[in-house]
Amino acid sequence: MRRRAAANALLAATAASLVLTASSLTASASAAASSAGATLLVSGPNGEASGFPVEDEVPAISGDGRFVAFVRNAFEAGSAVWLRDMAGLFRPIDVPSGLGEQGLGFDAGYPSLSGDGHYIAFASEDPEISDEDRDYSSSAAGTFPVRDIFVYDRATKAIDFVSRANGQTGKAGNDDSSNPSISTDGDFIAFQTEATNLQRRVFGGVFVRNRFAGTTTLASRANGAHGKPLNGGFVPSISAHGRWVAFLTVVHHRHSHSLGVAVRDMRTKRTIVVSRANGAGGALAAGDLGEWPLRRLRDQGEEPRRRPRQRRRRLRPRPEVQPDDPRLPGQG
């Protein structure tokens, strides 16, 4: 079928190039193991698939250094996630097949590995990877596949669906999710999403999925168990046992906004901004907000606007920012 031609070519080209280099890479791995400071080529050589350039990118390594996941990108033909065992074995994690409505191949990417490489979290648009995900979303721009988060079990080869609402069979996210970060033990996955149905009255942000408890919890929120959701949550990074989650968010200054780093303690429900100067009341870092968060604020009607001209007045001392008052949205 024409629909699968590009993806099948990508799979064939990828498999062939990786198999051809497996024996030489295995030999290189043995040599590298006995040579301090050696550099080893982990992926296969770049090439072409059905006329499309193929490049390897976005690597992620397990805590013990044995496994490396990476994305093989064939651009218009789509992209796939592969896993390399430093013993020399390659394994496909997700190689999407078929083409979308726009004639483009489906994409997979953003790999993140647990400490021993037993679990691999990744994002994928592949509509055939799970019967539980929402396959497509529609807008004025057309119909597009929804990017979801999954976890691959290297031992059983099972794939667990992650970007969903509370419950073992919670509803799948209705919009794109990306940038998964998996804990060392593989129990917790933090991810960024634009989905609006994972929690009531929460329109995207950073969530943490407990795979075994079946819970999905908002991390990008202000202090307290019921703190106000923040204006954006991006690129999360979760700690080894899933207690802390660091992420980018929009930080409010007196008359402006900027992108800052916040940390949420999932146990104590405390959220603080860490991108600030020394001291409990250190000045918040200020910088360019960036186009994506700015567009999000604009869509929510909160785009920073120029302050109107006012009469001069006597300035009062600026209050010190306390540790529990990190100037996050909704905290005063």
Across the range 158-180, mean pLDDT stands at: 94
Sequence-distant (6+) residues with CB within 8 A of 301 are none
Class of CATH domain 2-33+48-299: mainly beta
> Would you call 33 helix, strand, or coil by DSSP?
helix
Choose between 37 and 24: higher pLDDT: 37
Give the percent of the chain with pLDDT over 70: 68
Calculate mean pLDDT across residues 295-303: 47
Q: Are strands 108-113 and 119-124 parallel, antiparallel or unpaired?
A: antiparallel
Q: In which band, very low, low, confident or very high, does the pLDDT at 35 lie, cut at 50, 70 and 90?
A: low
109-121 residue pLDDT tens: 999 999 999 999 9
Q: Which amino acid would we find at residue 310?
A: Q
Cα(157)–Cα(113) distance, integer angstroms: 14
As to burial, measured by CB atoms within 10 angstroms (0-12 exposed, 13-18 middle, 19+ buried), residue 49 is buried
Residue ranges of domains in the chain? 2-33+48-299
CB 53 within 8 A of CB 74: yes
